[in-house]
Amino acid sequence: MTSVYRSRDIRGVFLDRMVINGPQHEIMITMQLATKQERVDPVTHEKTESLADSKVVTAISRDRGKTFRMGPVETDIDGDGDIDAKDTAKLAALAKAYNSILNP
């Protein structure tokens, strides 16, 4: 998991890669975007962690990982307040980078 520290909440991305061997040799990268939240019970002082705002986005490549086509992106990835082509492009770049790390 890759994460960014923000007080007690940590934003992270869980990545998974699957290769489908067939005539097109498809590669699918699944990205789960979530926020890990830490809570402290006021009575027992026990810490608990949970995932919130979890969303799954899928990227598919049909050219052995050179380019990735994104499924619907419904999350503001770059924090600029809108969901647009920049968010999709950043996730496609993440999928391409992840694929190149696992398959250099």
Q: Which amino acid is at 76?
A: D
CA–CA gap between residue 104 and residue 2 (Å, rounded): 20
Give per-residue pLDDT as tens, 23-77. 778 999 999 988 888 888 889 999 888 888 888 999 999 998 899 999 888 888 8
pLDDT-based confidence at residue 100 (cuts at 50, 70, 90): very high
Asked if 84 and 70 touch (Cβ cutoff 8 Å), the reply is: no
User: Cβ of 34: how many Cβ atoms within 10 Å?
Assistant: 19
Using a 10 angstrom Cβ sphere, with 0-12 exposed, 13-18 middle and 19 or more buried, the burial of residue 35 is middle
The confidence score (pLDDT) of residue 104 equals: 64
With 0.75 as the threshold, say if the pTM is over it. no
User: Which secondary structure element, helix H or strand E, spans residue 85, and what is its range?
Assistant: helix 85-102
